[in-house]
Amino acid sequence: MTSKDDHSALATAAPWAAPAATGPLDAVVTLPGSKSLTARALLLAALGDAPTTLAGVLRSRDTALMRAALTVLGARFTEADGDASRLHVTPAPLPLPVDTGPDGAGHIDCGLAGTVMRFIPPLVLLADAPVVLDGDEGARLRLLGPLMAALAALGVGVSWLGRPGFLPVHLTPPAGPTDGRANNSTDGRAGGSQPTTASLDASSSSQFLSALLLTGPLLPGGLAVTPSGPVPSLPHVGMSVACLRERGIAVDEPSPEDGDGQRTWRVHPGRPRGGRVTIEPDLSNAGPFLAAALVAGGRVTVPAWPMATTQAGDAWRELLPRLGGIVTTEPDGVGTLRLTCRGTGRLNGIDADLSAVGELAPTVAALAVLASAQGHASRLTGIAHLRGHETNRLAALVAEARRLGASARERADGIEIDALPDGERLAPALLHAYADHRMATFAALIGLALPGTTLDDVACTAKTLPDFPARWEAVLAQGQGGEHGRGR
């Protein structure tokens, strides 16, 4: 099944002419909600002990698919107060009543969303009928095997409908009730019984571990899960833990001193609390906008930046100065900051282990490619798992960097970009997005510095950020003689 939604229709449109910078920026960018926090908020609200009202919800392709998937499993969503970013969620009853088709299974379109294809399968442990998951062509290249092996060990019937280990897959709930219908505690610690135990290999995606943790409180006795090796993107696991705790579920995290294969996460049984939840702006998607100031000069400000957050994008505060920017903050609202990034037009190379924040790599790579033309080499390491993202991002970044005339290569766990020799320059090109929203924003950043850069598919940015081209053009119009008001 390939999605026939707006995204795939737009993907065939003419190439996008990436706007070039014509002067220093002076822009304020208000970003919609975090993709990762929205996915978790939707799922935990669907499993809640009472209705939830969500504010700051991201409305994008990934989150629409998550909503649709949870609707197949019995949750109900209604827009609140005519505001698209506010949602009332009525939780699903247990066992989850699957909306089945003529084949007796519920059908879930994962699009290209890692959060949907990984977070939904463990819910089959709580479901009353089988579920079939499929997605875009690119989604059929994203690994699911290790998560399914863990679910099979918990009694889920796993039947691969294509290549083993990948979508599409047919999942059958275990014969007996495995859901936590007895887990009625409100303190998140009742249940008393020994936890359900699982082990899994999460070395190719932290989402496998997050997926089990998010369903964990509904399993008999909760869940104790021990990944067999290293786990990338650990802040995203921390985000899953924080989201559970915010909803009253107790979670014991392993000690950072525990070695790979010895770390156990213990989720205590209970129903996630309903109530009101406000979702933070997407700090990963803030990256290209803040980085634009490094390329064009001037400044870009993001308001409502949380003072404390589990989002990987908080690392921009540390990464952008290393790449040549100046990052400052000032108080904004309660618990939030206005974060400003200033650029001078000069870029630095960077040698960075991005294992914890891999989703920031394409934006860092765009700056590194541009820095190579200013005589600086860069090395991004700890990101072998990016080969399993929306596309093989290591191959894609190297191919696109070379298309521009940069000297770049893949290493086992990352990429290297050489300093361009004196006298050599980068040249604009038609860049490829590979259906990957972050490869599209890579191209947008390159276009600021290389007039004439085009991109084959800007529509794929709708995966996590609606209206990206308009938002990008509005940022450029601010401070370059344009008449757009500041902020949006």
Ligand X SMILES: C=C(OP(=O)(O)O)C(=O)O
Taking the complex as a whole, how short is the minimal distance between the CB of residue 129 and ligand X, in angstroms? 26
Classified as helix, coil or strand, 83 is strand
Given ligand X, ligand S3P, none, residue 438, with its beta carbon under 5 to 8 Å by kind, binds ligand X
CA atoms within 13 A on the CB side of 140: 14
Is 393 annotated as belonging to a binding site?
yes
DSSP secondary-structure letter at 96? B
105 vs 116 by CB, closer to ligand S3P: 116
Given ligand X, ligand S3P, none, residue 113, with its beta carbon under 5 to 8 Å by kind, binds ligand X
- Burial status of residue 176 (CB atoms within 10 A of its CB: 0-12, 13-18, 19 or more): exposed
Residue 112 near residue 433 (C-beta atoms within 8 A)? no
x-or-dash string of contact with ligand X, 340-359, rule CB under 6 A: -------------------x
**Residues 6 or more apart whose Cβ sits within 8 Å of residue 471:** 29, 289, 465, 488
Is 36 annotated as belonging to a binding site?
yes
Give the integer Cα–Cα distance in Å for 228 and 315: 27
Q: Does 233 bind ligand S3P (CB under 6 A)?
A: yes
Tell me how far CA of residue 60 lies from CA of 84, 92, 432, in angstroms: 11, 23, 21
- Burial status of residue 5 (CB atoms within 10 A of its CB: 0-12, 13-18, 19 or more): middle
Query: CA nearest 453: which of 18, 21, 13?
Result: 18
Give the integer Cα–Cα distance in Å for 310 and 315: 10
Amino acid at 262: Q
Q: Does 389 bind ligand X (CB under 6 A)?
A: yes
Taking the complex as a whole, how short is the minimal distance between the CB of residue 442 and ligand X, in angstroms? 11
Q: Which of 438, 448, 456, 460 binds ligand X (CB under 6 A)?
A: 438
Angle among Cα 330, 364, 22 to the nearest 5 degrees reads 75
x-or-dash string of contact with ligand S3P, 110-139, rule CB under 6 A: ----xx------------------------
x-or-dash string of contact with ligand S3P, 329-368, rule CB under 6 A: -----------------------------xx---------
Taking the complex as a whole, how short is the minimal distance between the CB of residue 438 and ligand X, in angstroms? 5
Q: Using the rule CB under 6 A, give the single segment among 101-109, 193-201, 228-236, 422-430 that binds ligand S3P.
A: 228-236
Token pair in block for residue 240: 């899953």
> Which one is catalytic: 79, 280, 330, 359?
359
116 vs 341 by CB, closer to ligand X: 116
Give the integer Cα–Cα distance in Å for 475 and 245: 37
Is residue 257 part of the annotated active site? The answer reads no
**Residues 6 or more apart whose Cβ sits within 8 Å of residue 260:** 227, 229, 230
266 vs 389 by CB, closer to ligand S3P: 389
Q: Does 210 bind ligand S3P (CB under 6 A)?
A: yes
Enumerate residues 144-183 that contact ligand X by CB under 6 A. none
Is 257 annotated as belonging to a binding site?
no
Q: Which residues are catalytic?
A: 359
Q: What is the binding site for ligand S3P (CB under 6 A)?
A: 36, 39, 114-115, 205-207, 210, 232-233, 236, 358-359, 385
Residues that bind ligand X (CB under 6 A): 113-115, 359, 389-390, 438, 464
